[in-house]
Structure formats: C-alpha cells, structure tokens
C-alpha cells in the first residue's frame, strides 16, 4: 500500500457509505419554527398568564414575523441574526417557562411575579422593536449611500 492510499484510501471501518446528515435549517426557518413554538406555548399558557403578558407575547411575534419576511430577501449581519434568534428561542421562552414553574398562587395577574414577567416582556419587546428599526434603517442607509455613489459616478 502506497503512502497516498493510506492518506486518501479506504481505511478500516470506513465502508465508503456516507451517513446522511440532516441539512441545517436556514436562519429564517429556525426562527420561524421558534416563533411557532412560542405561539403554541403562549396559547397553552393563556389560562395562566395575565392578558397583558399574553398580549406582549403576541406583540413580540408581530414585530419579528414581518422582520423575518424582510430578512429572507435582504440578508443581515450574523450579529443581528444571533440577537433575533436568541430573543425568540431563548430569552422570551425562558421568561415564560420560569413564570410557569411558579406555584399557581404566585401567578395571579398584578402580583409581583406577574409584574416581573411584564417587565421582562416589555424589555424584550422593546429590544425586538429596536432591532427591527435598526435593520430597516441600515438597509435604507445602504440604499442612500448607493444612490450617492451612482450620482457621483454618472453625474459628475
């Protein structure tokens, strides 16, 4: 056996048949799946969480879904993707999950735990809105910069 075949040849235990690997979901697919899970969790928790908290969960969804539709045709930096995905798949569900772990007597609307949940959802909704606005403004700024470039290139 030559040294080349030892480097590139069929080694013991390697049958030459590759194990199929599940393709990784695209960013928008992953976040959409997380939003769908979050919406289902919100519906299940609807009898437990306050109407304010439920409304905030819906508002977060209402901010992120259109943003995902925009991102599908206009890629954004990985840092923005991480922020969006973390918000939807970790931060919001964790707040909801921790609230639901409380004893029922601590889950009453207006009680301290409900107020904490409301504060957390308010902060997360504000972050979602800021992130959305930043992404849209960045795209508008890029368009404006490109317009200036074209104007300078072809008009003067």
* Domain extents in the chain: 23-155
pLDDT digits (tens, 9 = 90+) for 109-144: 999 999 999 999 999 999 999 999 999 887 777 777
Q: How confident is the model at residue 35 (pLDDT cuts 50, 70, 90)?
A: very high
Amino acid 10: pLDDT: 55
Lowest mean pLDDT: which of 10-14, 38-42, 96-100, 109-113? 10-14
Reduced 3-state DSSP string for the chain: CCHHHHHHCCCCCCCCCCCCCCCCCCHHHHHHHHHHHHHHHHHHHCCCCCHHHHHHHHHHHHHHHHHHHHHHHCCCCHHHHHHHHHHHHHHHHHHHHHHHCCCHHHCCCCCHHHHHHHHHHHHHHHHHHHHHHHHHHHHHHHHHHHHHHHHHHHHC
pLDDT at 20 over 60: no
Taking all residues of the chain, what is their mean pLDDT, rounded to a whole number? 87
Q: How confident is the model at residue 147 (pLDDT cuts 50, 70, 90)?
A: confident
Structure tokens at 69: 């539709």
Q: What is the pTM of this model?
A: 0.76
Amino acid 146: pLDDT: 76
């Amino acid at each position: 056996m030559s040294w080349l075949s030892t480097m590139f040849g069929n080694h013991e235990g390697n049958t030459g048949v590759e194990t199929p690997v599940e393709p990784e979901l695209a960013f928008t697919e992953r976040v959409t799946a997380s939003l769908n899970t979050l919406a289902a969790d919100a519906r299940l928790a609807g009898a437990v969480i306050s109407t304010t908290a439920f409304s905030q969960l819906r508002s977060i969804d209402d901010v992120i879904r259109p943003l995902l539709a925009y991102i599908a045709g206009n890629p954004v930096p990985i840092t923005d993707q991480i922020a969006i995905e973390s918000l939807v798949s970790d931060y919001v569900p964790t707040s909801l999950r921790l609230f639901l772990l409380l004893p029922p007597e601590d889950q009453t609307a207006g009680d301290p735990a409900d107020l904490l949940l409301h504060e957390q959802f308010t902060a997360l909704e504000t972050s979602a809105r800021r992130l959305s606005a930043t992404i849209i403004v960045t795209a508008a700024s890029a368009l404006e910069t490109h317009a200036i470039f074209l104007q300078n290139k072809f008009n003067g």
